[in-house]
Structure 1
Amino acid sequence: MTEYKRQIPMIPLRGLTVVPGMVAQFDIGREKSAQGIKNAMLNDQQIFLVRQKDEEMEEPVIKDMYRAGVLAEVKQIEHKSGSSLRVMVYGKKRGILSAMHDLGEFWEAEISFPEEERPELPDDITEEGMKEVLIHCLEEYREKTRQIPLGIMMEIEKTEDVYQMVDEIAANVHFSPDELQEILDGKEPLERYYLVASKLEEKAKEVDIRDEIDRNVKERIDKNQREYILREQMKYIREELGEDGPLSDAEEFERQAESLEAPKEIKEKIEKEIRRFRNIGNNPSESGVIRTYIETMLEMPWDKKAPEYTDIDHAKEVMEAEHYGLWEVKERVLDYLAVHSLTKQSGTPILCLAGPPGTGKTSIAQSLAEALKRPYVRISLGGIRDEAEIRGHRKTYVGAMPGRIADGIRKAGVKNPVLLLDEIDKVSTDYRGDTFSALLEVLDGEQNKKFRDHYLEVSLDLSEVVFVTTANTLQTIPRPLLDRMEVIQVSSYTENEKFHIAKEHLLEKQIEGHGLSGGLLSVSDGALRRMIRYYTKEAGVRNLERTLSDVCRKAAREILETKKKSIRVTERNLSKYLGKEKYRYQMANEKDEVGIVRGLAWTSVGGDTLQIEVNVLPGKGKLMLTGQMGDVMKESAQTGISYIRSVSGEYGIPEDFFEEHDIHVHIPEGAVPKDGPSAGITMATAILSAVADIKVRADVAMTGEITLRGRVLPIGGLKEKLLAAKNAGMKRVIVPAENEKDVEEISQEITKGLDIKYVFRMEEVLRYSLVQK
């Protein structure tokens, strides 16, 4: 017998044996195994699979492995959560493990493939006769188990070589991993033949034994009582084995109720339902409803709590590791932990994280749960219309179930988890009840101590649950509900914050998810900053993550096509992977002009600059407004005109000027709707500049609402607006004086380099913005 050897990546299998001809699918959790698969995909897609003896061992060596395995081809890879993979393989050839090497990143096997010679058979035995015996055993097994499809059966019967037939049967019959390993260990083809034939006979006999048990049980009981049949089957089996009979369902429920940690009234309710279940008789529909209710009640963590963990240093470490920026949110969480550590009181605030999509609101709740070391449950409220989704369905309804709050507590397994109510602003109301009103009781610290779920029919204490809600906007949340929550605004990220998030979190995640670890792909800081500025326009980082994913996909393809060892993406070659730039910023004008003023606007994806243009034409005193302005913005323009007419004498404007001229106010990008009062001082300045023929400084941007008498009122979204001014290269920004306190809370990263002027009246705006003659 001759043999040849080969070195190849290997995967130690846990609880699974693959044989030649078998298609198998399994999950990979170990990093070394995942790297072995990736190495195989970069070469000839072949991997050696061999089962380890101890399934719990993380770092096996050769003495921990079976010797016989299979050379397999990787057919499909699916990336799951985290770094785990789901792999589909096809077993090709039996091999023997000679040596096993730990290369650090993955395991490599040295395997041999013995070339098996056909055994010499006695004179009274032929290969054709062996095939007939094997097919007879297989047909008997199929007839009794109905486990082999007819198509596969016919393919096996067509196999001409008896030893190949042995491999095909092993690959398609439901043998246990131990049985398959025993077959695989067979050194000679004849030995494997006898093993497969004998095991087929054993399985057929096992079916006969089970059938005999079924016949004996059916003689005792009525065939229509299915649940009783199952209990009698268990009873008969235990009698045959000489063991005691099992507890009935009612007795099992009583045993669980005795050990349940719950208030007295809860236990009394469960005991009452167990008595009903015991006396219900053989009514399957009603007993099924009561059984489900009892099981739900026994699974609820009535008095079971997660240990209180208030280590502020640990919480700070978790928050800093998983989130960049978001200082206000982190401070609030640490404040809560500090107070809870000192008071030991169970009352907790209801935090509402409000902000644009992609700013990390949901992941903050996960970090909070990790910091507190409590179970985390997310409940998505988007689109919920039925009040019963919150309060639960009454037991009398078909398919009744607990509400999402009670079900979340049940899944958490403790009464004090971190419960995230995601997208609370997208809850709606219709004829099936007011969902917002149901949430009032859940999120009220004074009422939720005795929250009543319609399905449970008893009070559920929610006072120790740490509730966190998220919303994109507060406008759709009713005032009474909003009043019960502590709102924390999660604002847009600055370019620098996005850069750090991408570099420290997103890039590594995408590189690992696309199989580019180990230095296969690197991205320069300049490329990251260019992606942020010219390829994404958003408040959060969701599109930025998609853009990084695009780069990784292109890089992976280039590596496979060009066989490069590594790729570096720089600012210079970024367009090769992402195409031409998608966005641009309106930079400050190069020179001072008449009738053109730069305003600042807030949008759902952050701040932006708004250039307002005014022309004065001979006419009859009409005011023309174009650029898709909303009603509020139009009124701001009319207010600005009235103010300018009241002060026209100070600027040498003739009294009959406004009767003899038309004024046209236009905001470019007419396809985009615009509204809001914050462009009031901008439009007034532009109109006065055009009417008085005075130039406006090109490096000035402004925001603020104007009144009829020229007062400047405060506005919102100042952080995003200042960020837009900085990105556009503005040097001076004019803001209402009442917004000075908001500027003090904005990081110096945004305000540095900006000359911010605080104004109370329109006269100050004109003094800071107009070019003095």
Structure 2
Amino acid sequence: MSSDDLTVTTEAGVSLEIPPELPIVPLKGLVAFPNMMFPLVVSEPSLLEMADDVLGGSKMIGLFSVLPEAAKPDVGQVLTESSDDPAILTEIATTEKAQNFTSVGTVAQIQKMLRFPDGGMRLLVQGVARVQMVRVKQTEPYMAASVRVIHIDEPESKRTEALRRNAVELFQDLVDASGYLSEELKIVVMNIEGTGRLSDFLGSNLNLSLEDKQALLEELDPVTRLETATAFMIRELEILALGKQIQDQVQSEMSQNQREFFLRQQLKAIQRELGEDDADSEIAELREQIQKAQMPEEAEAATLKELGRLEKMPPQAAEYTVAKNYIDWMLSLPWTPTKRPKIDIPKAERILNEDHYDLEEVKERILEYLAVRKLHDNPKSPILCLSGPPGVGKTSLGKSIARSLDRPFARLALGGLHDEAEIRGHRRTYIGAMPGRIIQAIVSAKAMDPVFMLDEIDKVGKDFRGDPTSALLEVLDPEQNNSFQDNYLNVPFDLSRVMFITTANALYQIPGPLRDRMEVIELPGYVTSEKVQIAKRYLIPKALEDNGIASKHLKFTQPALAAIANQYTREAGVRNLERQINRVARKVATQVARGKRPKVVLKPDQISKYLGKPKIHRESRARRAQVGVATGMAWTPFGGEILFIEASAMPGKGQLTLTGQLGNVMQESAQAARSWIRANLPKLGVEHNTFTKIDIHIHVPAGAMPKDGPSAGVAMVTALASLVTGRPVRPDTAMTGEISLRGQVLPIGGLKQKMLGAKRAGIKRVLFPAQNENDFEEIPDQLKRGVEGIPVSSIDEVLEETLKPKRRR
């Protein structure tokens, strides 16, 4: 019954024109019917953007249910509400493929909108008509698809009228029998005209499964749909009658239960006389386990006290389970250290070399750490913090350390953690209380001395529920963690034998007191040659195994790996490189599954066949000497990068314009650079009143990305000097450093990461502050190979090294 006619008539008799292309809102656990009105609370960013777009246009959206087996509950949410059940949570799968949706949905019109202070909004929507999804038009930033309106004819006959009257009576009986339907619905159902609208009303209000509701929505014959809804109501009335019968039976048996209680007490007395008392034997068994657990005196006393309370309580008491759970947690904790062989330093070195390529400085520091642990029985060594961009091997290093020590490995992801109770546990006064995740991980590891990785410690949140970083201060302090007290256990537990290792992308996001408790080991990232070796040794064998193919089916040449790393990834680590290798492996695996026998030896000119056109276009390839353009160096949590500082002049009155999402510190650097240039115009061979005749515009491309920090000062003063003198800047030179009004170049941080980013971009010369010369010397030779490092201490030296002679016209 689908039609190309996109005009529909509402229940009020108003004609609406349905757009041929609609934004799609996927619903999990909910089916929207025509003429059904309900609110949606939207909080997911892509859906907020969709709502803003729709509210400015047709106010029409398409509501399609997600098939249960295809639903992904971690993508986004829409909260639906009704007067009877004010908080029914329905998931939104914003990245679902088209085949995961039902074929028929409902076009709905947004009637009202209310914005919340937290950025979300509440939409009141009303279903208009059934629609069929034809083709998905877009998936980003939200899904949109072309639809076809389903027009339905409603035949009239005496049988149809009888069917409607019967359905109305059944529904009124159902309202009387049920406790979840409002009495007002009895009046509403009597005033509904039309077989189709009546069946839709029944479908939206009956307590049906998602599949049954979707079946009603997809049934296009109004009479058949109403017959199906009638069958559902008859079944529901039978279930309610049976439930009432059971309830009456339970009430009559209440007195019998009291009689049985006395009989059970008598039975327990008889069992006690016969020595068959199960409860007493369980208490005795728990007491024996407590004595064998070798708990510290305070912990044993607390456990025995709880056991005494448990002994006096009947099993039916609400507190019985609480006390039993506490004793079970105390018994499951490892209270005594496990005897382990001495740390084998050569073995640890061999495992680190097997699992990780290069990273010599990092491996050396880890071996030093293990050596101290070997020579001292109870060392209070610092907590290691592995800091670096994503994908450089921080988490896998922790696993290698655990393997080299023959210890269990425990991991706690701290990203997005907001509640302090997640670390310290909940007090037992709360329903469902349990220990914190530190104690839970110790129980899972079944050892007092696991290698415990606290992942993404720089992404811990903080809100009204507490500050988890404050709880971590005790955990990560070697002077305090020998008596860590979980709120649930309420007794000290020794964490001093645990080897804590933390990971972070951005150290500056870690609070100072917490950072002070850790020794930072930086993993700067990899150059292309190192990525190629890592791919050959680790990523390619893993990809072949994961995709079920052998090395005879697929081989990568070294130039091809280098091309993939440079043209299809922009990262300091190798995570995206691994994804691209897996993409190639999957395409070859597809050929194998089709019965072919491919023998692919991937070369650079064949990459586009498997991965498409190159995704990364290095700006360095198009660089040339230009007036007013200097190359700076930046550090980001994802590694080092280069950035361009562009300066332009135009007739004006000396104003300075800054664009490119520059932070306050970076704006101040631009103003300092401009002041130094104005103060030194005669030295540069420029008239002293030049700045009174022109306006200056400084722009840093990639304007969508916020930028801040003082280290771009050198590049800014170079770009301005090039602009006013007409001398172009050397294109093979990048620079970093803070400047002062006296013309000094001040030290900066992150030189190693910036050098790595410059080398990846093809830079041949790097200018850095002379006070960072020690940092430059510590950079491994393979990172500096092919890049000339030039220390500078003043702006004059910078301009001498960067500005080329003025072009002749």
Alignment map for 1:586-601 (pairs within 5 Å) = 586-587=619-620, 592-601=625-634
Pairing 1:656–2:689 present: yes
The CA distance in 2 between the partners of 1:583 and 1:679, in whole Å, is 24
Deviation, 1:751, is: 0.9
Structure of higher CA gyration radius: 1
The 10-residue stretch of structure 1 (718-727 or 512-521) with the greater mean CA deviation from structure 2? 718-727
Matching residue of 1:667: 700
Deviation, 1:269, is: 2.8
Alignment map for 1:694-733 (pairs within 5 Å) = 694-733=727-766
Matching residue of 2:410: 377
Matching residue of 1:687: 720
Deviation, 1:414, is: 1.6
Q: Say whether the 8 Å CA contact 1:379–1:404 is kept in structure 2.
A: yes
Q: Say whether the 8 Å CA contact 1:348–1:466 is kept in structure 2.
A: no
Matching residue of 1:289: 322
Matching residue of 1:184: none
Matching residue of 2:440: 407
Shift in alpha-carbon separation, 1:680–1:556, aligned structure 2, 3 A: same
The CA distance in 2 between the partners of 1:727 and 1:340, in whole Å, is 38
Deviation, 1:227, is: 11
The CA distance in 2 between the partners of 1:233 and 1:393, in whole Å, is 41
Q: Say whether the 8 Å CA contact 2:526–2:756 is kept in structure 1.
A: no
Matching residue of 1:444: 477
Deviation, 1:257, is: 2.1
Pairing 1:749–2:786 present: no
CA deviations over 1:207-230 (Å, ceiling 9, x no partner) = xxxxxxxxxxxx9x9866999999
Deviation, 1:576, is: 0.6
Q: Say whether the 8 Å CA contact 1:347–1:464 is kept in structure 2.
A: no
CA deviations over 1:57-107 (Å, ceiling 9, x no partner) = xxxxxxxxxxxxxxxxxxxxxxxxxxxxxxxxxxxxxxxxxxxxxxxxxxx
Matching residue of 1:332: 365
Paired residue type of 1:738:
Q
Shift in alpha-carbon separation, 1:559–1:384, aligned structure 2, 3 A: same
Q: Scaled by the length of structure 2, what TM-score is found?
A: 0.64
Matching residue of 1:265: 298
Matching residue of 1:642: 675
Deviation, 1:708, is: 0.9
Pairing 1:356–2:366 present: no
Task: Compute the RMSD of aligned alpha carbons.
Answer: 3.1
Matching residue of 1:466: 499
Out of 499, 514, 521, the position equivalent to 1:481 is 514
The CA distance in 1 between the partners of 2:747 and 2:270, in whole Å, is 78
CA deviations over 1:188-207 (Å, ceiling 9, x no partner) = xxxxxxxxxxxxxxxxxxxx
Paired residue type of 2:552:
G
Q: Scaled by the length of structure 1, what TM-score is found?
A: 0.67
Deviation, 1:422, is: 1.6
The CA distance in 2 between the partners of 1:454 and 1:653, in whole Å, is 71
Out of 405, 412, 427, the position equivalent to 1:394 is 427
Shift in alpha-carbon separation, 1:300–1:711, aligned structure 2, 3 A: same
Pairing 1:416–2:449 present: yes
Paired residue type of 1:610:
L
Shift in alpha-carbon separation, 1:575–1:225, aligned structure 2, 3 A: farther
Paired residue type of 1:737:
A
Matching residue of 2:31: none
The CA distance in 2 between the partners of 1:670 and 1:402, in whole Å, is 46
Deviation, 1:771, is: 2.3
Q: Say whether the 8 Å CA contact 2:544–2:551 is kept in structure 1.
A: no
Paired residue type of 1:467:
F
Q: Say whether the 8 Å CA contact 2:389–2:505 is kept in structure 1.
A: yes
Deviation, 1:526, is: 1.6
> What SS does structure 2 have at the residue aligned with 1:402?
coil
CA deviations over 1:317-371 (Å, ceiling 9, x no partner) = 1111111233333222211121122222242321122222222211111111111
Deviation, 1:598, is: 1.9
Paired residue type of 2:555:
S
The CA distance in 1 between the partners of 2:679 and 2:400, in whole Å, is 57
Shift in alpha-carbon separation, 1:386–1:245, aligned structure 2, 3 A: closer
Shift in alpha-carbon separation, 1:244–1:290, aligned structure 2, 3 A: closer
Q: Say whether the 8 Å CA contact 1:306–1:416 is kept in structure 2.
A: no
Equivalent pairs, count: 551
Matching residue of 2:157: none
The 10-residue stretch of structure 1 (504-513 or 685-694) with the greater mean CA deviation from structure 2? 685-694
The CA distance in 1 between the partners of 2:269 and 2:591, in whole Å, is 65
Alignment map for 1:487-502 (pairs within 5 Å) = 487-502=520-535
> What SS does structure 1 have at the residue aligned with 2:594?
helix
Q: Say whether the 8 Å CA contact 2:727–2:804 is kept in structure 1.
A: yes
Shift in alpha-carbon separation, 1:661–1:268, aligned structure 2, 3 A: closer
The CA distance in 1 between the partners of 2:599 and 2:270, in whole Å, is 63
Shift in alpha-carbon separation, 1:736–1:232, aligned structure 2, 3 A: farther
Shift in alpha-carbon separation, 1:222–1:344, aligned structure 2, 3 A: farther
The 10-residue stretch of structure 1 (559-568 or 429-438) with the greater mean CA deviation from structure 2? 559-568
Paired residue type of 1:604:
P
Shift in alpha-carbon separation, 1:378–1:734, aligned structure 2, 3 A: same
Deviation, 1:655, is: 2.1
Matching residue of 1:454: 487
Paired residue type of 2:606:
N
Paired residue type of 1:537:
R
Pairing 1:366–2:396 present: no
Deviation, 1:268, is: 3.0
> What SS does structure 1 have at the residue aligned with 2:509?
coil
Q: Say whether the 8 Å CA contact 2:505–2:638 is kept in structure 1.
A: no
Matching residue of 1:34: none
The CA distance in 2 between the partners of 1:226 and 1:693, in whole Å, is 104
CA deviations over 1:381-407 (Å, ceiling 9, x no partner) = 222222222122222221111111112
The CA distance in 1 between the partners of 2:706 and 2:466, in whole Å, is 35
The CA distance in 1 between the partners of 2:526 and 2:693, in whole Å, is 49
Shift in alpha-carbon separation, 1:458–1:698, aligned structure 2, 3 A: closer
Unpaired stretches in structure 1, ≥5 consecutive residues = 1-218
Q: Say whether the 8 Å CA contact 1:636–1:680 is kept in structure 2.
A: yes
The CA distance in 1 between the partners of 2:736 and 2:726, in whole Å, is 22
> What SS does structure 1 have at the residue aligned with 2:508?
coil
The 10-residue stretch of structure 1 (558-567 or 290-299) with the greater mean CA deviation from structure 2? 558-567
Question: How high is the sequence identity, in percent, across the aligned residues?
Answer: 47
Q: Say whether the 8 Å CA contact 2:388–2:639 is kept in structure 1.
A: no
Q: Say whether the 8 Å CA contact 1:349–1:466 is kept in structure 2.
A: no
Out of 678, 681, 686, the position equivalent to 2:711 is 678
Deviation, 1:311, is: 0.5
Q: Say whether the 8 Å CA contact 1:348–1:463 is kept in structure 2.
A: no
The CA distance in 2 between the partners of 1:510 and 1:381, in whole Å, is 29
Deviation, 1:312, is: 0.3
Paired residue type of 2:608:
S
Q: Say whether the 8 Å CA contact 1:257–1:267 is kept in structure 2.
A: yes
Shift in alpha-carbon separation, 1:231–1:704, aligned structure 2, 3 A: farther
The CA distance in 1 between the partners of 2:335 and 2:801, in whole Å, is 65
Shift in alpha-carbon separation, 1:479–1:554, aligned structure 2, 3 A: same
Paired residue type of 1:660:
K
Matching residue of 2:581: 548
Deviation, 1:263, is: 2.3
CA deviations over 1:560-581 (Å, ceiling 9, x no partner) = 3361243222212111110000
Q: Say whether the 8 Å CA contact 2:506–2:637 is kept in structure 1.
A: no
> What SS does structure 1 have at the residue aligned with 2:525?
coil
The CA distance in 1 between the partners of 2:267 and 2:499, in whole Å, is 43
The CA distance in 1 between the partners of 2:624 and 2:277, in whole Å, is 97
Alignment map for 1:58-97 (pairs within 5 Å) = none
Deviation, 1:523, is: 1.7
Matching residue of 1:347: 380
> What SS does structure 1 have at the residue aligned with 2:334?
coil
> What SS does structure 2 have at the residue aligned with 1:609?
strand
Matching residue of 2:289: 256
The CA distance in 2 between the partners of 1:518 and 1:499, in whole Å, is 17
> What SS does structure 1 have at the residue aligned with 2:503?
strand
Alignment map for 1:536-615 (pairs within 5 Å) = 536-561=569-594, 563-587=596-620, 592-615=625-648
> What SS does structure 1 have at the residue aligned with 2:711?
helix
The CA distance in 2 between the partners of 1:608 and 1:753, in whole Å, is 17
